[in-house]
């Protein structure tokens, strides 16, 4: 009886992970996040730490602010909007603010945030993706939230690439599907 219960528990837990791995949309989203993480961390590594405060214009975010903002949004979209955890408050959050953080600390934080987001997507029931949320006054499904997340990463990463170019650096070659 005890072995049967353990087997049943294992099958229930494994079922969610297997469903996410078998769902084409989630499989693609996970692959895209993995590729995006690799490319983003390469960009972060190539920018000298002394240039992390660089702003393309006075009103722009700095290189480090773009980088950490990606992490904040990745956390919010995945953990709060898709996973249901209470959202962090951007204005008061210190985890994703670059102040008093080294380049290595920021890179480690972003790497960990990508791991957490990917783990969540690996465990999510694909049926949850059809749930609707209020997204800045618009009705969006959780599936759309995953797509918006990818767009957001691309938007801020592109601005980081411009900062690299303006500092005389050649960004790493673009890797497809991220």
pLDDT attached to residue 22: 85
Give the count of beta carbons closer than 10 Å to the beta carbon of residue 65. Answer: 20
The answer to whether the CB of 56 falls within 8 A of the CB of 163 is yes
Residue 49 lies in a domain: yes
Residue bearing the bigger pLDDT, 4 or 64: 64
For residue 6, name the pLDDT band (cuts at 50, 70, 90): very low
Residue 171 lies in a domain: no
Cα 164 from Cα 40, distance rounded (Å): 12
- Give the tens place of pLDDT for each residue, 15-68: 544 555 689 999 999 999 999 999 999 999 999 999 999 999 999 999 999 999
pTM (predicted TM-score) = 0.86
Domain CATH for 138: 1.20.120.450
> How many domains does the structure of the chain reveal?
1
Residue 18 lies in a domain: yes
Residue reference for tokens 């049926």:
127
- Give the tens place of pLDDT for each residue, 70-95: 999 999 999 999 999 999 998 899 99
Residue 158 lies in a domain: yes
> Using CA of residue 144, residue 146, residue 147, residue 151, what is the dihedral sign?
positive
pLDDT attached to residue 95: 95
Q: Dihedrals φ, ψ of 4, to 5°?
A: -65, -40
Residue 173 lies in a domain: no
Residue 47 lies in a domain: yes
- Give the tens place of pLDDT for each residue, 163-176: 999 999 999 998 77
Query: What domain range is 135 assigned to?
Result: 2-166
Give the count of beta carbons closer than 10 Å to the beta carbon of residue 7. Answer: 10
Cα 177 from Cα 141, distance rounded (Å): 22
- Give the tens place of pLDDT for each residue, 96-149: 999 999 999 999 999 999 999 999 999 999 999 999 999 999 999 999 999 999
Residue 145 lies in a domain: yes
Residue 172 lies in a domain: no
């Amino acid at each position: 009886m005890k072995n049967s219960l353990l087997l049943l528990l294992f099958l229930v837990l494994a079922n969610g992970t297997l469903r996410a791995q078998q769902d084409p949309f989630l499989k693609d989203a996970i692959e895209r996040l993995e590729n995006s993480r690799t490319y983003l961390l390469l960009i972060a590594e190539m920018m000298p730490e002394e240039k992390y405060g660089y702003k393309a214009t006075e009103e722009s975010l700095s290189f480090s602010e773009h980088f950490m903002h990606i992490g904040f949004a990745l956390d919010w979209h995945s953990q709060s909007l898709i996973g249901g955890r209470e959202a962090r408050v951007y204005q008061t959050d210190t985890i994703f603010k670059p102040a008093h953080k080294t380049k290595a600390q920021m890179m480690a934080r972003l790497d960990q945030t990508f791991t957490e987001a990917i783990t969540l997507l690996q465990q999510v029931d694909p049926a949850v993706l059809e749930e609707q949320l209020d997204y800045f006054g618009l009705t969006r499904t959780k599936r759309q939230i995953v797509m918006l997340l990818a767009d957001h990463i691309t938007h801020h990463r592109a601005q980081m690439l411009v900062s690299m170019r303006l500092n005389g650096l050649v960004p790493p070659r673009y890797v497809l599907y991220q």
